[in-house]
Structures are given as structure tokens and as C-alpha cells.
């Protein structure tokens, strides 16, 4: 699933693919915001870790969970 995160006062967004489900990501984000955590820790499919400050979150866009098709569809 693709995740796109907008950060306040930053011209570019953070975009990466993750193996987590949309519900898991929503739960992590909601828990971080409700507990007033200073940061949100996410990981992508390659094993990279992203730490995003919760005070500067502009938006989080969750893509579809289905995999991309390769080739031609008849």
C-alpha cells in the first residue's frame, strides 16, 4: 500500500510503499495523535524507517491495498 504524508512548511511530500494494512496505519496515526506523541514511526517494504513529527503533519493519504498489475489485460 502506498502512503503519502504531507508535512507543514515542506514543499515535498513523503511517499513510500508499506506492507502494513490501512487499518494498521490508521491505528498508529490515531494512537500517536491521541497520546500526544512527538513523532510517528513507520516502515516501508524495503526496511527503511521514517520518523515524522506529529505536530507538523498536514495530511496522510493512504492508497489502495491491492497490488499493481503488470502486463496487458485482455
Which tens digit of pLDDT belongs to each residue from 43-72? 999 999 999 999 999 999 998 766 666 767
pTM above 0.95, yes or no: no
Q: Which three cell numbers stand for residue 72?
A: 496487458
Across the range 15-33, mean pLDDT stands at 92
| pLDDT reported for residue 74 | 60
Strand pairing partners for 45? none
Q: Cα angle at 21 between 19 and 25, to 5 degrees? A: 100
Distance CA 32, CA 26 (A): 10
The answer to whether 43 touches 50, Cβ cutoff 8 Å, is yes
Q: Give the CA distances from residue 9 to residues 12, 16, 55, 68, in Å, rounded to whole numbers and listed in that order.
A: 9, 20, 12, 32
Amino acid at each position: 500500500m502506498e502512503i503519502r504524508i504531507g508535512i507543514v512548511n515542506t514543499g515535498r511530500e513523503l511517499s513510500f510503499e508499506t506492507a502494513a494494512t490501512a487499518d494498521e496505519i490508521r491505528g498508529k496515526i490515531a494512537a500517536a495523535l491521541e497520546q500526544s506523541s512527538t513523532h510517528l514511526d513507520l516502515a516501508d517494504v524495503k526496511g527503511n524507517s521514517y520518523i515524522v513529527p506529529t505536530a507538523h503533519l498536514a495530511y496522510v493519504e493512504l492508497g489502495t491495498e491491492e497490488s499493481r498489475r503488470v502486463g496487458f489485460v485482455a
